[in-house]
Amino acid sequence: MGLINKLRNEFIDIIEWLDSSNDTIAYRFQRHNNEIKMGAKLTVRPGQLAVFVNEGQVADVFEPGMYELTTQNMPIMTTLNSWSYGFNSPFKAEVYFFNTKVFTNLKWGTANPITARDPELGPVRIRAFGTYHVRVQDPALLLKELISTDGLFQVDEMSDQIRNTIVTSFATWFGQARVPILDFAARYQDMGDQIRDALQPEIANFGLELTKLLVANVSLPKEVEEALDKRSSMNLLGNMQEYSQFQAANAVEASAQNGNANPALDFGVGMAMGQQLMNNMQPGQAQAAQRNMTQPMGAPPAAPAAPGAMPPPLPTQAAEWHVAIDGQQAGPFTIDQLRSQPMKRDTLAWKAGMAGWIAAAELPELSVLFQDAPPPLPGM
């Protein structure tokens, strides 16, 4: 019995792989130089593929299920070893198990800033990062291109290559798309899909499938972002003039709160701000503001003008006249004062701006003095 058990242990009769890790892509079944028994049980679990390699050549591939290894379900092995008429003896072969699940949340990002030309900001340096998903698409090709004789092939052994490829494709996409950086947030989904589609043929050369590529963030240098923040703040305030006034008001308030108030300085700043606001107001608003500024302390503010109301006319300086009465120059008089003077139609009158003396009746402004007097008698 001891000899029989010893001989039985020389042959492998159960082939399976239980993966306790989350990052193993391929695993070579450990045989310890033992041969595989014809009729051995092969168990391939969901999310796995088993690949038999015979003397360096990829042979049969088994999908999830339980198999009893025979020449009937190993056609390639049978052909390679010339088992045309059946074979019941143990045989040697390498068995690789592949994890076909989707490996998610793999990171990519730019190690150094990418210099590019933005259509709005000009030359800029940008950084980008995100995640991608990958899975095994062609285990035989992956075994040939990347794994070779590696008995334990894990995600980090190929992630650097994929990450570098993604960064290169991102820089190419950015240069060709010419999308303004300020519009990137609305294009993250399209950006990821387009880069993934462009990358997939190259990734497929390794037997892998890039199932998803996500762009999490595209950022500018800190100094540029701060400048954009200030620009946004000024846009909210309206213009630089108003921004300066806002800053000055904050400075005065902060000075008062810190106990470092300078009354003369604060008064000067306040007056300058008030004058600037007056200059920016419409004429009617400026007049109302001026009236309120001249109101006594404690007095209610002047009532604003009704919408659409016209301001009253400015007072005019009354004209002053000089007249010749009894051969003497008299005056100056206003028109109201001339009513009490012994004025006649031929009385000579003059005011500033006239070239010479003219009879009062011939001046339109003074003719009103004679409207109620009768004209002179004929012949007199």
| Distance of alpha carbon 68 from alpha carbon 44, whole angstroms | 12
Contact present, 125 and 113 (Cβ < 8 Å): yes
User: Which pLDDT score is estimated for 271?
Assistant: 58
- Count CB neighbours of 29 within 10 A: 18
CA angle, 124 as apex, 118 and 130 as ends, to 5°?
90
**Per-residue tokens: 63:** 């999908």
Domain positions in the chain: 2-99, 103-220, 331-380
CATH number of the structural domain 103-220: 3.30.479.30
Look at residue 1 in the predicted model and tell me its pLDDT. 44
Query: What is the Cα–Cα distance from 73 to 238, expressed in whole angstroms?
Result: 78
pLDDT the model gives residue 251: 73
Render 164-200 in DSSP notation, one character per residue.
HHHHHHHHHHHHHH---GGGGGGGHHHHHHHHHHHHH
* Tokens linked to 15: 């082939």
What region, left, alpha or beta, does residue 253 occupy, with left being phi > 0 and alpha being psi -120 to 50 degrees?
alpha
* pLDDT given at position 360: 80
| Cα 5 from Cα 142, distance rounded (Å) | 39
Tell me the pLDDT tens digit for each residue of 166-177.
Answer: 998 888 888 787
Residues of the chain with pLDDT under 70: 1-12, 32-34, 84-88, 234-247, 252, 255-256, 258-318, 371-380
Q: Tens digit of pLDDT for each residue in 191-216?
A: 899 999 999 999 999 999 999 999 99
Alpha carbons 260 and 252: distance in angstroms, whole number: 10
